[in-house]
Structure 1
Amino acid sequence: MKNKILIVEDQFIEANNLRMVLKAAGYQVCTIARSVQEALKIISTEQPDLVMLDIFLNGDQTGIELAVILKKQNIPFIYLSANSDQHTFALAKQTNPYGFLVKPFREKDVLAMLDIAANLHEEHLALSHMSASNSVSAAQDKKTIADFGMIGNSTTLKEITRYIGIAAAATAPVLILGESGTGKEVVARAIHENSARQKKPLIVVDCAALTPTLIESELFGHEKGSFTGATDKRIGKFEQATGGTIFLDEVGEIPVEIQSKLLRVLQEKEICPIGGKRKTVDVRIIAATNRNLEEEVAQGRFRLDLYYRLFVFPIQLSPLRDRKEDIIPIAEHYLRICTAANNKIIAGFSDKATQMLLNYSWPGNVRELIHLIERSVLLCEDPLIDNVFLPTTRKSQIQDVLPIKTMTENERDHILEVLSRCDWKIYGRGGAADLLEINASTLKSRMKKLGISKRFD
Structure 2
Amino acid sequence: MKTRSAQILIVDDDREVRWALRSLVEQEGMEALEADEGECALKIAMLQTPDVVLLDIRMPGIDGIEILGRLRKMDGELPVIMITGFGSIQDAVQTVRSGAYDYLTKPFENELVVRAIRRALKERHLKRRPMVLDTRAEEHFSLQEMMGRSQAICKLADEVALVAPTDFTVLVTGETGTGKELVARAIHASSLRVSGNMIPVNCGAIPETLIESELFGHEKGAFTGAERTTRGKFEAAASGTLFLDEISSLPLSMQSRLLRVLEERRFHAVGGTKEIKADARVIAATNMDLFTANPTIFRPDLFHRLSGYVIHVPPLRSRKEDVIFLSKRFLDSTNQELGKSIRGFTETGVSMLMAYDWPGNVRELRNVIRKAVLVADDVIDAGHLGALRANGGRTLEKESLGMLYTGEISLKGIVHRSTAAVEREVITQVMKSALWNKAKAARILKIDYKTMLTKLKTYTISEKGDGDGRQEGETHDA
TM-score greater than 0.5 by the shorter chain: yes
Amino acid at match of 1:405: T
1:446 aligns with 2:441: no
TM, length-normalised to structure 2: 0.57
Question: Matches of 1:151 and 1:332 in 2, distance apart?
Answer: 12
What is the match of residue 147 of structure 1?
Answer: 142
Question: In the alignment, what sits opposite 1:367?
Answer: 363
Amino acid at match of 1:226: A
Give the structure 1 partner of residue 251 of structure 2: 255
Cα distance, 1:417 vs structure 2:
4.0
Secondary structure of 1:347 counterpart = coil
- Are 1:315 and 2:311 counterparts? yes
User: What's 1:113 paired with?
Assistant: none
User: 2:287 aligned with 1:290, yes or no?
Assistant: yes
Superimposed CA distance per residue, residues 21-66 of structure 1 (whole angstroms, 9 cap, x where no aligned partner): xxxxxxxxxxxxxxxxxxxxxxxxxxxxxxxxxxxxxxxxxxxxxx
Equivalent position amino acid for 2:142 in 1: D
2:211 pairs with 211, 215, 239, which one?
Answer: 215
Residue 312 of structure 1: CA displacement?
A: 1.1
Cα deviation, residue 142, structure 1: 5.2
Tell whether the 8 Å contact from 2:140 to 2:189 is kept in structure 1 after alignment: no
Question: Within 1, Cα distance between the matches of 2:353 and 2:420?
Answer: 30
Structure 2 vs 1, CA of residues 359 and 453 (structure 1 numbering), >3 Å: closer, same or farther? Answer: closer
| Shift in Å, 1:363 | 1.1
Question: Using a 3 Å threshold, how does the CA distance of structure 1 residues 421 and 269 change in structure 2: closer, same or farther?
Answer: same
Structure 1 residue 444: Cα displacement: 8.2
Q: Does 1:388 align with 2:384?
A: yes
1:104 matched residue in structure 2: none
Q: Which runs of 5+ in 2 are unaligned?
A: 1-68, 78-138, 389-393, 405-416, 457-474
Read off the aligned partner of 2:395 and give its amino acid letter: R
TM-score of the superposed pair, with normalisation by structure 1? 0.60
Aligned to 1:65: none
Determine whether 1:164 maps to 2:165.
no
Q: Which sections of structure 1, spanning at least 5 residues, go unmatched?
A: 1-136, 427-431, 434-442
Distance in 2 (alpha carbons) for counterparts of 1:382 and 1:451: 50
- Hey, what's the Cα distance between the residues in 2 that align with 1:320 and 1:411? 17
Please give the root-mean-square deviation of Cα atoms over the aligned residues, in Å. Answer: 3.5
1:411: Cα distance to partner? Answer: 11
Q: CA deviation at 1:366?
A: 0.5
1:267 to 259, 263, 278: 263
CA shift at 1:394, angstroms?
Answer: 2.6
Task: Decide which of 165, 171, 181 is 1:175's aligned counterpart.
Answer: 171
Match of 2:350 in 1: 354
- 1:405-416 alignment runs, 5 A limit: 405=419, 409=423, 413=427, 416=430
Task: State the Cα distance separating 1:262 from its structure 2 match.
Answer: 1.0
Is 2:292–2:451's contact at 8 Å kept on the other side of the alignment? no
Q: Quick one: distance in 2 between partners of 1:145 and 1:389?
A: 31
Q: Distance in 2 between matches of 1:147 and 1:160?
A: 11
Deviations 1:103-126 (A, max 9, x none): xxxxxxxxxxxxxxxxxxxxxxxx
Mapped to 1, the partners of 2:194 and 2:438 lie a distance apart of 50
CA 219–344 in structure 1, closer or farther in 2 if over 3 Å, else same: same
The equivalent position to 2:434 in structure 1, one of 420, 431, 445, is 420
Partner residue of 1:201 out of 197, 204, 207? 197
Question: What amino acid is aligned across from residue 297 of structure 2 in structure 1?
Answer: R
- 2:320 maps to 324
Partner letter of residue 177 of structure 2?
A: G
AA at the equivalent of 1:306: L
* Distance in 2, Cα, partners of 1:328 & 1:170: 34
Structure 2: which amino acid aligns with 1:283?
A
